[in-house]
A and B are shown apart, each in its own frame.
Chain A
Amino acid sequence: MSGQAEIGDIGGPAQPLLAVRGLYRHFPIRGGLFNRTTAVVQAVDGIDFDVHKGETLGIVGESGCGKSTTARLLVRLLDPDRGELVYDGLSVGTQDGLSLREMRRHVQMVFQDSFASLNPRLSIADSIAFGPRVHGVGDGEAMARARDLLARVGLAPDTFGPRYPHELSGGQRQRVNIARALALRPRLVILDEAVSALDKSVEAQVLNLLQDLKAEFGLTYVFISHDLNVVRYISDRVLVMYLGRIVEIGPVDRIYEAPRHPYTRALLSAMPSMDPDRRTSEAPISGDPPNPINPPPGCRFHTRCPFASEICQTRVPELAASPLAGDHLAACHMADPSSGHPQAGTAV
């Protein structure tokens, strides 16, 4: 490919495609006369996880849990305060690692708002061809690639290529955004609430498309959503966030069938039942998620947790593996027999 030297796979299938190590991002809130920092939003507060090659990792959580900040950190639209991203064994943004510009060819993002993420003054084809052009792909080649991708996301290139974003429906625009994300031939695509704004019937079409493209291009997805049903449908592994921290991570079936963290359980039982004869009769937890500006100390969920004890208010629980499944981790004192929680060891 002209102007683009491909970096193939480096570490083999066992090496995580992306390793996230101790990532922190706090936002100061400034105010007052001298623009002093009056408060700090602890949007992402120390997260570690791996994204395996070829998988779809779902990230769920409620508003303020930091999932969107995480998405922006992963593509480095935001710089972390602390922590490291390791892309296929190469540390991102360091001297002997991978430069940001290089990393951006491999990691792309699809945003929630299909309209705001397309430049209204550029034609669809130009929007898709922009990335390749930036990376030195010639004009003709970039346009050919745009046409090819349009076809692959199900939009006839001759009909849609010369169009402008406002002429398309929401579903069609999201297809364009997906094509745009794929134009640099990335290996990892971060989908930040990418289907959340779509109508159900269109959402299903786009989910099918995402599955097809994943198989065709051998992609790895990080799929961020608040919709537990969709995450269950598309993910291989699921990561649950609460107030800037990971509370649980594991294979999708274990998370949905045997959740270990009380928050995950609450989140799952808060889903509407879809069965008119078995409607939900009791809310699993009460109250709103606390504000990430002043998160509670210790386990951040303790203010809403029905099992909270003293230890939960003071000590931060570590992510620990389940004795039943080594790849199923939860951050709860009850999962750790030595934590001093009265119910420790009862719920795993």
Chain B
Amino acid sequence: MTEIPGTIAGATIEGPAGPARGYWSNVLRRLRRDRVAVVCIVILALILLAAIFAPLVAPGDPFRTSMLRRLRPIGTPGFPLGTDELGRDMLTRLVFGGRLSLFTGIVPVINAFVIGTFLGVFAGFSGGRTNMAIMRTIDVFYAFPSVLLAIAISGALGAGIFNSIVSLTIVFVPPIARVAESVTTQVRNLDFVDAARASGAGAFTIIRVHILGNVLGPVFVYATGLVSVSMILASGLSFLGLGTKPPEAEWGLMLNTLRTAIYAQPVVAALPGAMIFTVSICFNLFSDGLRSAMDVKL
């Protein structure tokens, strides 16, 4: 190593103040200051943990029915959130229901994130005819409202958790691919990509080092916003009998089966809906917070 001059032309060049921080640590720091986002993360974490450790957390058995204590109100001793139309403990079923609901809400988005980002980055980076071919095909799916598309595919594949995940994945690939494609196209035209090409780097290296790092962030934000939609669609499919089948506990399905009790026990009947609402709004607000935290002013 040669001697390191800190000066050039007799002048000291001052470094930036403060510790060196990577982009993501900056984002994290800003996110921590966003109170709404933090509250949302805490709520989501609690619900997720409760779902994962449902057998430990839940007070009872989600499948034990009793014709004697059907539709008890909230606050009934032993059943803090009442019972459903078959006398099952609501609290237990809500905790267990989170497992399937979160699973069917999040997994399709993760799948679509992987597939959509791949398609979008590939299309955006290739440009030209390849881009046209991929994006126009994707636009075909765009022509249908997402709810109809999900119902149609689920209907064609048949009811079941696996099929509902497949159909939701298909629903979410186009919008994610589109966002990934537009961000990739923007990034691809920046000078640093040209500089990398001028260094002799191949397409794969450029995508890995220069494109993905700049594309994944915005696409991730977009995808977290989709989780709420996915939750609602998954619940909707169960509600229509296309997703989970009874007697499984799942919020959308519970909403459906409790529908008949809406006059007898309106509060209890609304509980699964409240869960869907809470989780999806938390995902949405978290996504907003993440978006503004990542929007670094330069």
Residue contact A180 to B214, C-beta cutoff 8 Å: no
Contact of B191 among A117, A160, A168, A212 (CB under 8 A): A117
Closest chain B residue to A183 by CB distance?
A: B199
Bound-state CA distance A180–B195 (Å) is 9
Contacts of A117 in B (CB 8 A): 190-192, 194-195
Bound-state CA distance A144–B2 (Å) is 10
Residue contact B23 to A120, C-beta cutoff 8 Å: yes
Q: Determine which residue in B9, B199, B200 has the highest number of CB atoms from chain A within 10 A of its CB, and name it.
A: B199
Contacts of A167 in B (CB 8 A): 16, 20-21
Q: How many residues of A contact B (CB 8 A)?
A: 54
Bound-state CA distance A156–B197 (Å) is 27
Bound-state CA distance A156–B12 (Å) is 9
Closest chain A residue to B16 by CB distance?
A: A167
Residue contact B2 to A121, C-beta cutoff 8 Å: no
- The A-contacting residues of B in range 184-225, CB under 8 angstroms, are 190-192, 194-202, 205, 209-210, 213-214
A131 within 8 A of B: yes
Contacts of A159 in B (CB 8 A): 15
Contact of B296 among A76, A166, A183 (CB under 8 A): A166
Tell me whether A130 and B199 are in contact in the complex, defined as CB-CB below 8 angstroms, given that A115-B298, A119-B213, A164-B22 are known contacts. Answer: yes
Contacts of A177 in B (CB 8 A): 195
Contacts of A109 in B (CB 8 A): 194-195, 198
Contact of A119 among B16, B192, B197, B296 (CB under 8 A): B192
Contacts of B4 in A (CB 8 A): 147, 151, 156-157
Contacts of B202 in A (CB 8 A): 134
Contacts of A101 in B (CB 8 A): 200
B8 within 8 A of A: yes
Contacts of A154 in B (CB 8 A): 5-9, 13
Contact of A168 among B7, B16, B22, B190 (CB under 8 A): B16
B1 within 8 A of A: yes
Which B residues contact A (CB, under 8 angstroms)?
1-2, 4-9, 11, 13, 15-16, 20-23, 190-192, 194-202, 205, 209-210, 213-214, 296, 298
Which A residues contact B (CB, under 8 angstroms)?
72, 75-77, 100-101, 104-105, 107-109, 111, 113, 115-123, 127, 130-131, 134-135, 144, 147-148, 151, 153-157, 159-160, 162-164, 166-168, 172, 177, 180-181, 183-184, 205, 208-209, 212
